[in-house]
């Protein structure tokens, strides 16, 4: 099906240890339903030499990831719905603040953090004394992330995981874009990585909450169902500007 230009486009933002490759099946399903989609590779989990920011000055963290997302948004024509997974919710929250073309932010089992929060602080994890290193993928990644993904596909995904810069987990969000951009949260009810109870805490910050009977990676386990849900969410986008104005008046 030809993608319809009268609809907003999706920008899909991956989580820690992953890359834009993880969205391939979902993008196929979205394309079949006439939705345009785009992706971005976050520098904090891309396979850069030495795990450094591309300028070599310091390891890329949340702020560098947010800059990459903002740059990708600038290159997409028309209104955009961001879809952020897991860690990707944190830099997306930063990136969408003041982004005039973002009409809705969708958090998929993601960290919908407030200003001053980091991934570690929300989880109650102690910040390391040195956050300039990298952390390898979880050795139990197959069970944590892909428990409901077909075995062969889960094995392929595990093989593509890359180390993640620790700085991405320790840097706090400076501006919470969801306070001015309408947001939706998708709770993954059988998630083994980010417990559903913690997801519900984060989802309380969103305007609407949806649920999927999936593990942490529904883009691999049920891409068709996820595409349908995203289409339904994007179809409720209000006329440009009204959602942001309403949130500002409520002081959320």
All domains of the chain, ordered by start, with CATH?
9-250 (3.40.50.1820)
pLDDT for 1:
52
Residues of the chain with pLDDT below 50 are 49-53, 239-252
Looking at residue 25, its pLDDT comes to 98
pLDDT score, position 5: 66
Q: Which pLDDT does position 4 carry in this prediction?
A: 61
pLDDT tens, position by position, 22-55: 999 999 999 999 999 999 999 999 655 444 445 5
pLDDT in the model for residue 129: 85
pLDDT at 58: 75
Q: Classify residue 237 as exposed, middle or buried by CB count within 10 Å of its CB (0-12, 13-18, 19+).
A: middle
The pLDDT assigned to 237 comes to 74
Q: Given this model, what pLDDT does residue 51 score? A: 44
Give alpha helix (H) positions in the chain: 24-32, 62-74, 89-95, 119-123, 141-146, 151-160, 167-170, 196-203, 218-221, 223-234, 242-250
């Amino acid at each position: 099906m030809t993608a319809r230009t009268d609809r907003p486009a999706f920008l899909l933002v991956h989580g820690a240890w992953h890359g834009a490759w993880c969205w391939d099946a979902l993008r196929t399903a979205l394309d079949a339903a006439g939705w345009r989609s785009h992706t971005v590779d976050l520098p904090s989990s891309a396979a850069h030499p030495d795990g450094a920011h591309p300028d070599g000055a310091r390891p890329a963290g949340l702020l560098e990831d947010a800059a990459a997302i903002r740059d990708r948004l600038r290159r997409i024509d028309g209104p955009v719905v961001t879809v952020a997974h897991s860690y990707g919710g944190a830099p997306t929250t930063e990136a969408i603040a003041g982004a005039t073309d973002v009409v809705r932010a969708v958090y998929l089992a993601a960290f919908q953090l407030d200003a001053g929060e980091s991934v570690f602080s929300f989880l109650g994890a102690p910040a390391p004394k040195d956050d300039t290193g990298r952390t390898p993928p979880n050795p139990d990644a197959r069970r944590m992330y892909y428990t409901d993904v077909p075995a062969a596909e889960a094995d392929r995904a595990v093989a593509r995981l890359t180390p993640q810069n620790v700085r991405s987990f320790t840097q706090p969000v400076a501006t919470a874009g969801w306070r001015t951009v309408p947001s939706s949260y998708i709770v993954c009810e059988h998630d083994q990585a980010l417990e559903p109870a913690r997801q519900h805490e984060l989802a309380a910050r969103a305007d609407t909450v949806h649920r999927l009977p999936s593990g942490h990676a529904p883009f691999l386990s049920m891409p068709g169902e996820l595409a349908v849900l995203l289409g339904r969410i994007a179809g409720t986008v209000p006329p440009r500007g009204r959602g942001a104005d309403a949130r500002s008046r409520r002081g959320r």
